[in-house]
Copies of this chain bind each other. A is one copy, B any other.
Amino acid sequence: MAARPADTPRGRVPRAEREQQMLDAAVLVFSRRGFHHANMDEIAELSGVSKPMVYAYLGTKEELFIACLRRESARLVAGLAAAADPTLPPDQQLWRGLKGFFEFVGAHRDGWSVLYRQARTQQPFSVEVAAMRESVVEVITDRLDAALRLEGRQVKPDDLTAMALTLVGASESLADWLADHPDEDPGRTATRLMNAVWLGADQLMRGVSWRPPA
């Protein structure tokens, strides 16, 4: 079947696909306008449906914003999980995870700035962001645990959690910076963090630096 013409009747587009179109439009509008100034008319228009249909499918503006947050965070978590191939050496797993994350942020600078920062600094969305952050911390904790076990080591749960929190906090901090610096390459940001957390400041100060695999 050829690409669907723009005037295809609504009924022809499956619900799931229609929802994704609405979410694409909503992410764009929330990113450009911010939550408070975004309006549902623009979102409806961009997704090519009526405003009542947006409400019927995805609820109020607040519910729609939360749906955007959830989709973006699910994409991010899936990306992290896919990046970390457990057959690779631990530094390469970490490198791929970080690179995947910073590329995600680099490709969605507006989305990161507005969706994540905005959500983090506004109730009730901050609760949602805290939950998605926790699931990322869990994924990373599990990965670290698996990598250490492969090396024949076992680390106390609190130590693993602290390590994952260090990585997540440092990554968020650098992601905000990356979102503000369009000239910065996401791979470069990932390398900076590898140098900080993989090698450690001690090595860095001796002039040793970590390089991505060729």
Interface residues of A, Cβ cutoff 8 Å to B: 90-91, 94, 120-123, 126, 147-148, 151, 153, 158-159, 161-163, 165-174, 176-177, 184, 189, 192-193, 196-205, 207
Contact = CB atoms under 8 A, between A and B. Distances in A.
Nearest to A158: B184
17 contacts: A90-B205, A91-B201, A91-B202, A94-B201, A147-B205, A148-B205, A161-B177, A162-B196, A166-B192, A166-B196, A170-B170, A197-B201, A199-B200, A199-B202, A200-B200, A200-B201, A200-B203
A196 B140 CA distance: 14
Contacts of A122: 121-123
Contacts of A189: 162
Nearest to A162: B192
A143 to B, nearest CB: 12
A173 B169 contact: yes
Contact of A205 (B153, B168, B170, B176): B153
B173 A166 contact: yes
Contacts of A207: 153
Contact of A202 (B153, B167, B200): B200
A207 B198 CA distance: 14
A197 B196 contact: yes
Nearest to A152: B207
A166 B162 contact: no
Contact of A200 (B162, B171, B197): B197
A149 to B, nearest CB: 11
Contact of A166 (B148, B158, B197, B205): B197
Nearest to A207: B153
